[in-house]
Structure 1
Amino acid sequence: MQMSTYIRDLLFRYECVIIPGFGALLSRHESARIDSQTNTFYPPGKSLSFNRQLQTNDGLLANHLASSEQCEYELALQKVRNFVGRLSLKLAEGESVEFQQLGSFSMNQEKAIQFVPDESMNFSTASFGLASFVSPTIDRSVEEHEEVTSEPLLFEPTTRTARPYLKYVAVGLIAVIASGFGGLKWYEGQVEQHNFAQRQEASGMVDSTIQVATFVFDEMLPVTDVAIERNTGRYHIVAGAFRIRENADRKVDELWTAGYHARYIGENRYGLHQVVYNSYENRGEALRELRKIKSSHNKDAWMLVQNLNP
């Protein structure tokens, strides 16, 4: 099923992929874990879940299909609708639909759709190349060892007779050290006096400079508040993607005329030039603005979740 391939590609880059009129597949990060029953180590990854309530088209799947199959957006959207129709018909007839490397959908007795994810697929790009492995149990039993005793070693001090001339050498060393200590104290006193004089001179220079540089303003300068519009964040409302850069620039000018803080954010992986209405730090604020734009300006606008290079 080709549609499952498109959905799988999007799940590597986005946390939510909506299948219009059917539901949404959501990915959630999971830390590395160990199955104590099978001694299996699992790397960090993303677990999949299904939400039947999210059915409103956000344009993500249709845009990806249009880019992959080189067709118009409306035709791609119609292909998605046809796919959802066939999928819903199979589920209504009691069949179980398998999405390759995604999971399976089925209808329970209460006529509710159930989704069983494929545990073998890891959608975390940070864990690319990491696979689960089984490690044998480590035997941590402590072996008993016989206690080894040893007799203590005894050292007997020996008495040596000090040589007579050594006491004269010791007296001479004490005298040299005492004289050196006195000279060192005198030198420290001279350095301290010099530093004090330099500090006094520097303090006088600073005071005179401050007096010369003092200004008196009779009138206070007006305070101006400047509101700067932030156009950053990882949540972007996409207005369109164009193969020709000039068309993208023309779209930016058109949106600015309409009152939006639009901008060009570069090419995507398919070589299309993307234009966004605005970018937001908060996901909730971005969703509210997306609903407003879809209802009043562009019903095909959709949200891109991506950290852009500054």
Structure 2
Amino acid sequence: MMIQKHISDLLYRYQCVTVPGFGAFIAETESAKVNESTATFIAPRKVISFNVNIKNNDGLLANHISLQESISFEAALEKINTQVAFWIATLNQGNLVDFPNIGEIKVSGAESNWVFVPSNNLNYLTASFGLSNFTSNKITREVLKQQVEELEEKAPIIFTPERKKNYSFLKYAAVIAIFIGAGTAGTKIVYDRKIEAETLLVQKHVQEQVQNSIQEATFFINTPVQAVELNVAEEKMPYHIVAGAFRSTENAEKALSMLIEQNFKAHILPENKHGLIPVVYGSYKTVEEAEVAKQKIQLEYDKEAWLLIE
């Protein structure tokens, strides 16, 4: 049960948590969405899936257990291997393996395939803390058109001669108002055109002064402006495929030279807290790119290569 909790804790911070010899739990971010059939608003979240093909040890889970339980890295690996053997035996017997707040794995079909069913009880996306799903009741709007038609049938409008005289007065008043408005609009148009012409003259004068200033600056600058160096931030690549870690700088540089001769974009990372100097095959922006590169390197060059995540 403790290892399941360690896996759950790591899913808050990492996209991929690999259990050596068993498989990998992958967290993919999903945007907020609306379920129209149930009128439910679903907050952004991490969707958890399981990939049985990713089994190589990347050191993430073992290092986390080592730090949390104050045991050595080797002891943490032994603990993981024991638990994995128990899980595999449980699945081979046809029973399911439960990972609290993550999901469960069970055997299905004649070929005894492993099927992962996510739990969805816990949202591992830290940016969505405090947000929960909610259901909104449908809004039923009144149909006003039918009510108006019913009112017109019950209370028809009758025009009397007196009302016709009043409407004639309103008609003449409307005509007068239109003429007054037209006159006001015409006056406004003339005024706007005058303002626009004056504005163009001012802009033209300003442009002439700017051009004269530019010409003077061009011909009378004696001391050239020194070039300014801009420091551009390097693109962050937190995923590294490690070839080895050395206590000697000389050995690390030898390993680096060998990798460069094999056309790898190899480089040396800063010394870690254990006093070791990691030499990596290459670094990558996403965990997906790093996983593809790691599997290729393990297949063609070094099966002991592992993934380091900063």
**Structure 1 unaligned spans of 5+:** 158-180, 214-229, 242-247
Whether the aligned pair in 2 keeps the contact of 1:252 and 1:264 (CA below 8 Å) is: no
Task: Find the counterpart in structure 2 of residue 135 from structure 1.
Answer: 136
- CA distance in 1 between partners of 2:215 and 2:82 (Å): 85
Letter paired with 1:302? L
1:263 aligns with 2:279: no
The correspondence of residues 107-256 of structure 1 with structure 2, limited to 5 A, is: 107-110=107-110, 111-143=112-144, 144-145=147-148, 146=151, 154=170, 199=212, 206=218, 232-237=236-241, 255-256=252-253
- Where is the helix percentage greater, Structure 1 or Structure 2? 2
- CA distance in 1 between partners of 2:15 and 2:275 (Å): 22
Secondary structure at the residue paired with 2:4? helix
Write the deviation string for residues 92-121 of structure 1: whole angstroms up to 9, x where unpaired: 112122211111111123211111110222
1:303 aligns with 2:269: no
Write the deviation string for residues 149-195 of structure 1: whole angstroms up to 9, x where unpaired: 797571756xxxxxxxxxxxxxxxxxxxxxxx9xxx9xx8xx97xx6
Secondary structure at the residue paired with 2:123? coil
- CA distance in 2 between partners of 1:252 and 1:287 (Å): 28
CA deviation after TM superposition for structure 1 residue 238, in Å: 6.0
CA deviation after TM superposition for structure 1 residue 85, in Å: 0.4
- CA distance in 2 between partners of 1:32 and 1:294 (Å): 39
Whether the aligned pair in 2 keeps the contact of 1:232 and 1:279 (CA below 8 Å) is: no
CA RMSD of aligned residues (A): 4.5
Residues 12 and 59 of structure 1: CA distance in aligned 2, closer, same or farther (over 3 Å): same
- CA distance in 2 between partners of 1:286 and 1:27 (Å): 15
CA deviation after TM superposition for structure 1 residue 236, in Å: 3.2
CA deviation after TM superposition for structure 1 residue 2, in Å: 0.8
- CA distance in 2 between partners of 1:76 and 1:136 (Å): 51
Secondary structure at the residue paired with 2:27? strand
TM-score by length of 1: 0.62
Task: Find the counterpart in structure 1 of residue 70 from structure 2.
Answer: 70
CA deviation after TM superposition for structure 1 residue 234, in Å: 3.5
Of residues 277-286 and 44-53 in structure 1, the stretch that sits farther from structure 2 once superposed is 277-286
- CA distance in 1 between partners of 2:235 and 2:34 (Å): 43
- CA distance in 1 between partners of 2:33 and 2:275 (Å): 40
Of residues 17-26 and 293-302 in structure 1, the stretch that sits farther from structure 2 once superposed is 293-302
Letter paired with 1:258? A
Residues 252 and 6 of structure 1: CA distance in aligned 2, closer, same or farther (over 3 Å): farther
Residues 289 and 37 of structure 1: CA distance in aligned 2, closer, same or farther (over 3 Å): closer
Whether the aligned pair in 2 keeps the contact of 1:4 and 1:99 (CA below 8 Å) is: yes
Of residues 143-152 and 94-103 in structure 1, the stretch that sits farther from structure 2 once superposed is 143-152
Letter paired with 1:235? Y
**Structure 2 unaligned spans of 5+:** 174-193, 225-233, 257-265
Residues 69 and 276 of structure 1: CA distance in aligned 2, closer, same or farther (over 3 Å): farther
Residues 256 and 129 of structure 1: CA distance in aligned 2, closer, same or farther (over 3 Å): farther
Letter paired with 2:135? V
How many aligned positions are there? Answer: 245
- Identical pairs, percent: 32
Task: Find the counterpart in structure 2 of residue 15 from structure 1.
Answer: 15
Letter paired with 2:270? Y
- CA distance in 1 between partners of 2:301 and 2:136 (Å): 58
Whether the aligned pair in 1 keeps the contact of 2:105 and 2:117 (CA below 8 Å) is: yes
1:279 to 283, 287, 293: 283
Task: Find the counterpart in structure 1 of residue 101 from structure 2.
Answer: 101
